[in-house]
A and B are shown apart, each in its own frame.
Chain A
Amino acid sequence: MLVSIYRYNPEVDDAPYMQDVEVNLPEGKDLMVLDVLNLMKEQDSTISYRRSCREGVCGSDGMNMNGKNGLACITPMSAVVKKNKLVLRPLPGLPVVRDLVVDMSQFYKQYEKIRPYLVNDNPAPAIERLQTPEEREKLDGLYECILCACCSTACPSFWWNPDKFVGPSGLLQAYRFLIDSRDTATQERLAELDDPFSVFRCHGIMNCVNVCPKGLNPTKAIGNIRSMLLQRAT
């Protein structure tokens, strides 16, 4: 199997390049892309990538496999390989630190901007802030995000304005706190988002939905934020 991998070590290389590597895959097994990367690293230990849990929970090994973002550890080769070739690139749009490792600072900055924590001015009750099962249900499809950045780095609006557009991942989280019955900062949160960039740079092309390894729907969350902004202002 031919694997073409993006290589760049800023200490040695003047420019990034694609390296073709022939990998011997074991017969009769459908390996995950991460397993193939591990096999490659056995041959060439300088190949760099992030990985941790190897089961799609930590979100470390987000990368671009044959043109589509995803988590290498839960993407079977059979799902991505075309014409017996696999092309591995780092997540698009973010600065490359080395090989498949990208600098996620910009992504985290946007996440920080939406204040990803509960804000509640009321005095804390003795035990905990209770929610009804219905209120809790509203968080389903939102809280599962693992911040792997597959969605935001698949979004052209995030590529062009990563400093101004919050991006699908950040907005999914923004909605997760907007809709939380225990959060009292809803109005302040909405006021923060009512500019031409933060939310409205989303043009609904749904690349985020297409790539999300957890099957979440940021476009729907963004639509809900828009509705909340509209209700607040009309």
Chain B
Amino acid sequence: MVTQVTSFGRSGLYDWMVQRVSAVVLSLYTIFIIGYLLLNPDLTYDQWSALFETTWMRIFSLLTLLSIGVHSWIGLWSVSTDYIKATGLRFFFQSLCGLAMFIYVVWGIQVLWGL
């Protein structure tokens, strides 16, 4: 057993499962948004903002936002442990990714709810 403290869930299985579940969410959201844009060629601002006013869309968007956060965190953590061999630099890169993920989630919520 290899010990790890910087990975997302600290269990390989958990990270692996979260990575797959979040990938499904991201695919569904992407398909939905592309489909919506294709089905509404002359989309107005009112229509677009009405879509994001609905509760289910906010739930869906927030779920996607969180999925982007964890999905990219797990992915970039893997990349960093593969390619960055110097511990200090690797930890710095991981911290940077963690911070970016947190910022994007908070910022995304602010955009969604227009606080």
Contact = CB atoms under 8 A, between A and B. Distances in A.
A192 B83 contact: no
B87 to A, nearest CB: 14
A197 B4 contact: yes
B17 A230 contact: yes
A230 B1 contact: no
B15 A196 contact: yes
B72 interface: no
B81 interface: yes
Contact of B12 (A156, A160, A161, A199): A199
B68 to A, nearest CB: 20
A198 interface: yes
Contact of B82 (A161, A195, A200, A229): A161
Contacts of A164: 2
Nearest to A156: B82
Interface in B1-59: 1-4, 7, 10-13, 15-17
Given A160-B83, A195-B11, A200 B16 contact: yes
B2 A195 contact: yes
B32 to A, nearest CB: 27
Contacts, number: 51
B83 A233 contact: no
Given A164-B2, A230-B17, A194 B82 contact: no
A201 B13 CA distance: 11
A230 B13 contact: yes
Given A157-B82, A161-B82, A192 B1 contact: yes
Contacts of B83: 160
B17 to A, nearest CB: 7
A191 interface: yes
Contacts of A157: 82
Given A157-B82, A160-B82, A191 B1 contact: yes
A233 B1 contact: no
Interface in A170-201: 191-201
A68 interface: no
Contacts of B1: 191-195, 198
A198 B12 contact: yes
Given A160-B83, A197-B4, 7 more contacts: A164-B2, A194-B11, A194-B12, A195-B2, A197-B2, A197-B81, A226-B13
